[in-house]
Structure formats: structure tokens, C-alpha cells
Structure 1
Amino acid sequence: MGISLARLDNRLLHGIVASQWTPKSGANRVMVIDDKTANTPMIKEAMRMGKPSGCSLSIINKETAYTNFKNGKYDGQKVFVICNDPQIILDLIENGNEIGTLILGGTEIPENTESTKVSKRAYVKKEDEPIFKKIIEKGTKILVQYVPNDKPEPLEKFIK
């Protein structure tokens, strides 16, 4: 049990994530980890309306997520983690949580930042490359894949 799948997506929880990735994850809890969303009641409530059926939903800030995982709050559950910052994934791993696969879905188009385009909808900022490399070194497979039917591409193919 624990984290069944993780996804980086700038839109966090949206239709594709709810209808396609959540069933694929096998999770019974979807966890959105994002400080801004967790602290903005209107955004949080709108996101709750898109909750996948049959799953619990947590929309929490990163410190609450780290504390809850550390305290075993999700033991016995399969959790699908969604965030938009690779550092959160690395922090979860370094805090003792296993993440077998991280899906890199959609990202914002970086402006005035050196980046690598890894798919039609995803970019990796040069400043984030060391974080992704550490995640891979910790044993997590990172796949670039927008929807489950897309051919998954290993992130290592794009960053050296």
C-alpha cells in the first residue's frame, strides 16, 4: 500500500486525471498536494466537484502531506499523488515513501526559463533537471505520458 502512482500536472485534478489516470492508478484516495490550491477555498471547492467517484479526495499543502505520510495516516490506502512541483515528489521519497512511477503529464510553457520540451504538453526546466535525476536515482521510473493511451517515454531520453 502507499503511493500507487504520482503525476506532475500543472492543472492538478482535471477531467483526464479523474476519468483516465485515477482508474489506472488503482487508488482509493486522490491527493492533490499544492499550497495555493489548499489555501484558496474557491479553487479547492471547484476541484472537489471533479472528484473521481469511488475515491476519497485530499487537497492539502505540502507540509500537511509530509506530516500525514510520516504519521501513517494513509497506511492501508492506495494513494494517487498529483502535484505540479517535482521537489514535492523528491521530498516524499526522501521522507521514506516509495513511488514506483511518476507520470509527467502537462506543464506550463516556461517563459524566460531555459527548458527542454519533452512532449506536446510538457517541458522540463533546466533548473529542475537535478531534481528529476535524483528522483530517478532513488528508483522511481519517470514516464512522459499525457493520457494512458499515449506511448510512455522515459524521461531519461530527454534529459542527460
Structure 2
Amino acid sequence: MSALKQIVGAAIVDSLRSPTRLLVARRTKPEQYAGMWEFPGGKVEPGESCQEALLRELDEELGVEARLGAEVPGPLEQGWALNGTAAMRVWMAEVISGEPAPLQDHDELRWVELDAVALEALAWIPADRPIVEALLEAAAATAR
């Protein structure tokens, strides 16, 4: 089996040390995902590491500089399956400069309490739902 296209995403929290809120992004395209929520990020370009790609994508998509924390490990070597051709690795991150704004592919950003009730109330892109569950577990472990 050939490698899946590598995508990277950020679970942007208000604090890597003691996360209580998550920044979520609402997609505008493609049509089947318009209006659904996701982790911001994008494709890894040739010659980039996953972390370099994620920092670049956060600058391009949200206009922020971020610090990456721990990866939210997925079940695959390449992270979390998105579909039959792509997988996404996700890192926790916090903004270190800039004010997040929806610059590309999104029409709204929203800070949401980092708890199951608040996050499950959102219409997530289906492939991101298991990542939300893993993020909640990771955040709970950080709080201990």
C-alpha cells in the first residue's frame, strides 16, 4: 500500500500547560464540509517536516505564530485516517503572536470550552470526531 498524503492539523488551546479552551475553525469548502468544524492545518509540502508545515499553515490560514506541544497520537503511523488517500497528524498548539482570524478556507473561528458537551455539540467533519475524543483524553491527562 502506498503512503497516504500527509496532512497536519493543530488543536489550538488557550494554554499548553493547562488547556481549558480549544480554537475551532468552520470550513467554507468543499461543499460537503461547508459549515462543519475542524482542526486548522493543511498539506505537508515537499521538503517540509510535519511541524514546519503546520506552523506555515497556521500562519497562512489564521495569521498566527504558534508553539507546538505534544502530538495527539493517532492509530496509524501517519496519524489519523481522513479518507482513503490522506491521513492527518495533529499537535496541540498555542498562539504566541497574532490574533487568530479566518484568512483561508474558513468563515468563523470560535473558542470552545475543552469539554465533551461543548465539543460534541459542534458539527465536526466526520474524520475529525475521533481526534476530538483523543484530544479530550490528552487534555484531561495534562490537567492531572
TM-score tier, shorter chain, comes to under 0.3
TM-score (structure 1 length as normaliser): 0.24
Larger Rg: 1
TM-score (structure 2 length as normaliser): 0.26
